[in-house]
Structure 1
């Protein structure tokens, strides 16, 4: 039962990192890549129909973590209170700013909310790297934690650029294609550097955390840069999605707090009682996400 719930937890976290990751990337880039109010609104509306639904994956992940692995949560949260609070603060600020930006007609107000949307994306994107670095190496491993933050920041920014190129057209699409190449290259370099520093200083308790997933991430990011250069944003987005999803096993493997899987999980009776809820909720979540993507597959709306 513990293994089944760990797989469900990993799937929810991976889904959130892929879906929420491009939200944060577009928030970061929307002002820099756009020329004029029309393009800024277009950039934000590329993820407009999805971004509230994308946050549901984070809520589901937190619920499963609290219900199925309460001992890991109890061991981790006291030491990670500030990073987690900062990350969630960035998510909330960015979400509110994206929704309120178009509700104001004055230019100063839109500039303010646009800046807050970008700031929220930056904090959320870098926050996942900070959290991962602290889980793996502790807050004293400053260089390693900083490299992890740079890696996730550039990864999500490049992921957002690929999504923006896939969902937009004209000059905005071209600028997104060009911006994504150096961002993904920087993410690959930061991942390699973080893995190298972690391996040399023996930060990770299990060696595979800093070996297999980062190696695959680097390959996927290089494939993503190639796809962007070939003006194939769909393939680039698939590659960056895979790289973002591979953060999930790294985070989960580092979240054991020194305990075995059985020690972190709830008792088997509780896990069995919770399983029917997961069997109902997760397919519903996937169905709603698929319906949303299908409904808005052609042109983004303009309500943001």
Structure 2
């Protein structure tokens, strides 16, 4: 395996890890008004929310994966970084705005005595989860379908490229999937009564995810979707995604929350290898089937060797930190836990 392939795999791993870990953050933010059954007042502040308590120990820490992904893309694939960020500029800005909005709203919600302000912060929390979830789905849909290329070789999107049935269906599917992923996480982390409510909501969301996901699949089968460079690989990964969704629903219905969450983790991660392996060797493709290949996107060999020395150290540190945080805050949440928000 070449060094370029290893760095491409690392880039995909970091993005998939961000989808898995950041995905349940966004899902919980989306669902927190529906999963606030166990509340208590303290010092006249807003009531505690058990859904938000579930993500509290990991709050902001999951964005490390997004920062690492951006760093690897900037260092190892500078031509992809420059082309991708400029071409998808509106969606990238919307994702970052959602991140800032949601993070601020979560921290400020219980720091105001006004009931009206608390409701506004709560609404902004939902927006902070919905905006990145939907926009990441639109990004995936655009990258699967293809981004138009100008005469000068640059990639650019307009409203007409985003407002297509395939791309919009991918956006809706991803938003529903992240919401179901968040529900599975709350079911895994919360007390039994709250876990049961989250499991019921997660089951309904998985049903909706499967129904909406049929649209981009049917569009592809009938020629109105993307033409994959490696159709057999794409078909196999799509089948795995469908199996993960079915498995998550099966285990949620039976109260096996750990297995259900593992299945939703697989489902949220699989769009990344679907995109990478389905269009390999292209990292950015046009609807006509041409585009930017790995060879043209990667930096020179000397820089890759230099970056590898840092990667050997930093990647295990990120993995160790994530494993330690999960171990330190394992188990279900309760009001005996620290009041983070």
Q: Which bin holds the TM-score, normalised by the shorter protein?
A: over 0.9
Q: How does 1:240-259 map to 2 (within 5 A)?
A: 240-252=264-276, 255-257=283-285, 258-259=291-292
Q: C-alpha displacement at 1:100, in angstroms?
A: 1.6
The answer on 1:225 being equivalent to 2:257 is no
Which secondary structure state, in structure 2, belongs to the residue aligned with residue 259 of structure 1?
strand
Contact 1:195 1:210 in 2 (8 A): no
Structure 1 unpaired stretches of 5+: none
Q: C-alpha displacement at 1:76, in angstroms?
A: 2.0
Pick closer, same or farther for the CA change 1:140–1:156 going to 2, 3 Å: closer
Partner of 1:122: 130
- What is the aligned residue count? 304
Aligned equivalents of 1:244 and 1:54: distance in 2? 14
Partner of 1:294: 327
Partner of 1:211: 235
Partner of 2:176: 154
Q: Alpha-carbon deviations, 1:122-180, whole Å to 9, x = none?
A: 11111111111122224166100111011101100000000001100143222101000
Pick closer, same or farther for the CA change 1:202–1:108 going to 2, 3 Å: closer
Q: C-alpha displacement at 1:218, in angstroms?
A: 1.0
Quick check: which has more Rg, 1 or 2?
A: 2
Greater relative contact order structure (CA < 8 Å, 6+ sep): 1
Structure 2 unpaired stretches of 5+: 41-46, 148-160, 286-290
Q: How does 1:163-178 map to 2 (within 5 A)?
A: 163-178=185-200
Partner of 1:67: 75
Pick closer, same or farther for the CA change 1:237–1:140 going to 2, 3 Å: closer
Pick closer, same or farther for the CA change 1:140–1:176 going to 2, 3 Å: closer
Root mean square deviation of aligned Cα: 1.8
The answer on 1:56 being equivalent to 2:89 is no
> Which residue, 137, 140, 143 being the options, matches 1:135?
143
Partner of 1:193: 215
Q: C-alpha displacement at 1:213, in angstroms?
A: 2.1
Pick closer, same or farther for the CA change 1:131–1:245 going to 2, 3 Å: same
Q: Alpha-carbon deviations, 1:85-119, whole Å to 9, x = none?
A: 11121112111111221222332222111111111
Q: Alpha-carbon deviations, 1:255-298, whole Å to 9, x = none?
A: 42412211110011101100111111111111111111111113
> Which residue, 2, 6, 9 being the options, matches 2:8?
6
Structure-2-length-normalised TM-score: 0.84
Contact 1:21 1:156 in 2 (8 A): yes
* Greater Cα shift, 29-38 or 153-162: 29-38
Q: C-alpha displacement at 1:36, in angstroms?
A: 6.2
* Off by >4 Å, runs of 4+ in structure 1: none
Q: How does 1:269-288 map to 2 (within 5 A)?
A: 269-288=302-321
Partner of 1:42: 50
Contact 1:204 1:210 in 2 (8 A): no
Structure-1-length-normalised TM-score: 0.94
Partner of 1:96: 104
Aligned equivalents of 2:233 and 2:178: distance in 1? 20
Aligned equivalents of 1:209 and 1:71: distance in 2? 26
> Which residue, 264, 286, 293 being the options, matches 1:260?
293
Pick closer, same or farther for the CA change 1:40–1:281 going to 2, 3 Å: same
